[in-house]
Chain A
Amino acid sequence: MHQKTLFIIKTTHRWIGLIGGWFLFMIMISGCLTLFNSEISQWMRPELALVKPAPLSSTALDQAYKVWLYSQNMPKNQIILPSERDPYLYVSYLKDNLKKNIILDPNQGTIIPVRDTAGASFIFSIHKKLFMNPSIGQFILLIVSFLFIISILTGIILHFKTYVKMLFNLQAKANPLRIQLNFHTTIGMLFLPFLSVMALSGFLFVAPSYLTASSSPAKITFKHHANIPYTPAHQDLLNLVVKAEHYFNNPAGFIFFTHKEIKIGEANSSYLSSFKNTVSYNNVTGAMTSHTSPSPMFGYPQKVIFGFHIAKAGGVIFRTINFILGLGSAICVALALLYYSNRYKNKIYPNKLAYIGHKTIEGINTGVIMAPLIGFISFLWINRFIPVDSHNRTANEIMLFFIIGSIIFIYGLYSAYFNFTNHALKKLLIIFSYLCLLLPVIDLMTNFTLFTQSLLNSNYLYLKMDITIFVLGVCSLLFSMFLKKKNYLI
Chain B
Amino acid sequence: MSIIIITLNIFSIFIFASSLEKFQNKQTDQQLDQKAVKRFRIISLFLMIISFILCYVYWQKPGWIIGINLTSINSLIITVFISYFPQRFKEWNEKFHAIFIKSA
Residues of A within 8 A of B (CB): 167-172, 186-187, 190-194, 270-272, 307-308, 313-315, 317-318, 321-322, 324-325, 328
Contacts and interface: CB of A to CB of B under 8 A. Distances in A.
B83 A317 contact: no
Given A167-B20, A168-B17, A318 B83 contact: no
A168 B82 CA distance: 7
20 contacts: A168-B20, A169-B82, A170-B83, A170-B84, A171-B83, A186-B79, A187-B76, A190-B76, A191-B76, A192-B72, A193-B68, A193-B69, A194-B69, A271-B61, A272-B61, A313-B61, A318-B62, A318-B66, A321-B70, A328-B76
Given A172-B86, A186-B76, 17 more contacts: A167-B79, A168-B23, A168-B83, A169-B82, A169-B83, A170-B80, A172-B83, A186-B79, A190-B76, A194-B69, A270-B60, A270-B61, A272-B61, A307-B62, A308-B62, A318-B62, A318-B66
B72 A325 contact: yes
Chain B interface: which size bin? 20 to 34
A190 B72 CA distance: 5
Contacts of A313: 60-62
B71 to A, nearest CB: 9
B2 interface: yes
Contacts of A170: 79-80, 83-84
Interface of B: 2, 17, 20, 22-23, 59-63, 65-66, 68-70, 72-73, 75-76, 78-80, 82-84, 86
Nearest to B13: A168
Nearest to A305: B65
A168 B79 contact: yes
A270 B58 CA distance: 12
Contacts of B17: 168
A328 B73 contact: yes
Contacts of B63: 314
B69 A322 contact: yes
A101 B41 CA distance: 54
Nearest to A314: B62
A325 B78 CA distance: 15
Nearest to B14: A168
Closest 10 CB pairs of A and B: A170-B83, A314-B62, A172-B83, A313-B62, A321-B69, A168-B17, A190-B75, A190-B72, A168-B82, A168-B79
A171 B22 CA distance: 13
- For B2, B23, B62, B63, the residue with the greatest tally of chain A CB atoms inside 10 Å of its CB is B62
Contacts of A190: 72, 75-76, 79
B93 to A, nearest CB: 11
Nearest to A271: B61
A325 B61 contact: no
A307 B79 CA distance: 29
Contacts of A328: 73, 76
Contact of B69 (A307, A315, A325): A325
- For B17, B23, B66, B79, the residue with the greatest tally of chain A CB atoms inside 10 Å of its CB is B79
